């Protein structure tokens, strides 16, 4: 959101207003650009140095760039714009609402795709672990029959396969964590360069310790569920 101040606004007044706006609940970040800095940026990027030298005074106003949180609801965003317009030093407020709506739609679509992809990958883990456990059961059919002959219960026979599923899940989770670290190492440089070209300070961050632990536990749970599903399905078919 670009907040244009009235012509002749002092730099001190602009900075004080920037601090007040920065304390509003619907504001994530603010940046104050005084009129002289705005003119220098325009001179550097437009190539109109000779024409600007003929101007009797600086025609550009001071600007406050206001960045709201990414998931701020539309109603609260409009209330923020109304509140910014109410300040005495503010001349006009400009915001590209159409671009913001497109961005929000893209974010919603991306989030939905991530959920769909995550569910498909979770199902793939269940099927892969289940098939692996099924092969392990097939290789130990005679041993399972002997155990049942001597009084072994299905729960006792099922236990080592469940432990195997947990191990498979833990190994898969560790491999996924290592792949994420590798992707972060390979992509952080190009992403930072691309963000700088658009004047953004966006940077990729590695997976936090809490998120890595959740990833590992989720992988172990999926491995255990895949093993339990496979053992429950095939163990009853083996009779002494």
Q: What is the CATH number of the domain that holds 42?
A: 3.30.70.3040
* pLDDT for 229 beyond 90: no
Given this model, what pLDDT does residue 57 score? Answer: 66
What would the pLDDT profile of 134-184 be if each residue is shown by its tens digit?
A: 888 888 888 888 887 887 777 788 888 889 889 988 998 899 899 989 988
Into how many domains does the chain fold? 2
* Predicted local distance difference test score (pLDDT) of residue 217: 92
The average pLDDT across 11-32 equals 86
152 and 222 share one domain: yes
Same domain, 51 and 133: no
pLDDT at 208 over 80: yes
Whether the predicted pLDDT of 24 surpasses 80: yes
Query: What pairs with residue 63 in β-bridges?
Result: 4, 33
The structure tokens 């965003």 sit at: 77
Q: Among the three residues 33, 68, 95, which one is the final residue of a domain in this structure? A: 95
**Residues 14/89, Cβ–Cβ less than 8 Å:** yes
- Host domain of residue 15: 2-95
Higher pLDDT: 227 or 140? It is 227
Q: How far apart are CA 227 and CA 224, in angstroms?
A: 5
Residues 89 and 118 in one domain: no
Closest CA to 164 of 234, 232, 233, 231: 231
Do 154 and 232 fall into the same domain?
Answer: yes
Domain end, chosen from 95, 117, 137, is at 95
Q: Which residue has the higher pLDDT, 33 or 153?
A: 33
Give the residue carrying structure tokens 């907040």. 3
Residues 16 and 90 in one domain: yes
**In whole angstroms, what is the distance from residue 229 CA to residue 240 CA?**
22
Residue 44 tokens, joined: 């550097």
CB of 88 closer than 8 Å to CB of 8: no
Is residue 116 domain-shared with residue 70, that is, in the same domain? no
134 and 48 share a domain?
no
Q: Residue 239 has what DSSP assignment?
A: -
Q: What is the largest CA-CA distance in the chain?
A: 103
Question: Is there a single domain that holds both residue 6 and residue 55?
Answer: yes
The predicted pLDDT at position 29 comes to: 86
């Amino acid at each position: 959101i670009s907040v244009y101040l009235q012509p002749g606004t002092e730099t001190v007044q602009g900075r004080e207003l920037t601090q007040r706006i920065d304390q509003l609940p619907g504001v994530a970040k603010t940046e104050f650009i005084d009129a002289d800095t705005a003119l220098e940026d325009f001179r550097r990027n437009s190539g109109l140095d000779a024409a600007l030298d003929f101007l009797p005074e600086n025609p550009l106003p001071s600007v406050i760039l206001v960045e709201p949180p990414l998931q701020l609801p539309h109603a609260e965003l409009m209330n923020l714009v109304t509140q910014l317009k109410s300040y005495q030093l503010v001349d006009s407020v400009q915001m590209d609402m159409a671009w913001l709506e497109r961005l929000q739609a893209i974010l919603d679509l991306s989030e939905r795709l991530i959920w769909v992809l995550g569910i498909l990958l979770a199902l793939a883990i269940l099927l892969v672990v289940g098939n692996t456990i099924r092969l392990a059961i097939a290789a130990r059919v005679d041993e399972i029959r002997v155990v049942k002959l001597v009084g072994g219960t299905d729960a006792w026979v099922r236990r080592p396969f469940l432990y195997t599923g947990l191990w498979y899940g833990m190994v898969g989770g560790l491999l996924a964590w290592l792949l994420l670290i590798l992707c972060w190492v390979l992509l952080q440089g190009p992403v930072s360069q691309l963000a700088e070209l658009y004047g953004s300070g966006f940077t990729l961050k590695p997976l936090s310790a809490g998120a890595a632990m959740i990833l590992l536990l989720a992988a172990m749970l999926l491995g255990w569920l895949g093993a339990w599903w496979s053992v429950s399905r095939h163990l009853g078919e083996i009779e002494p």
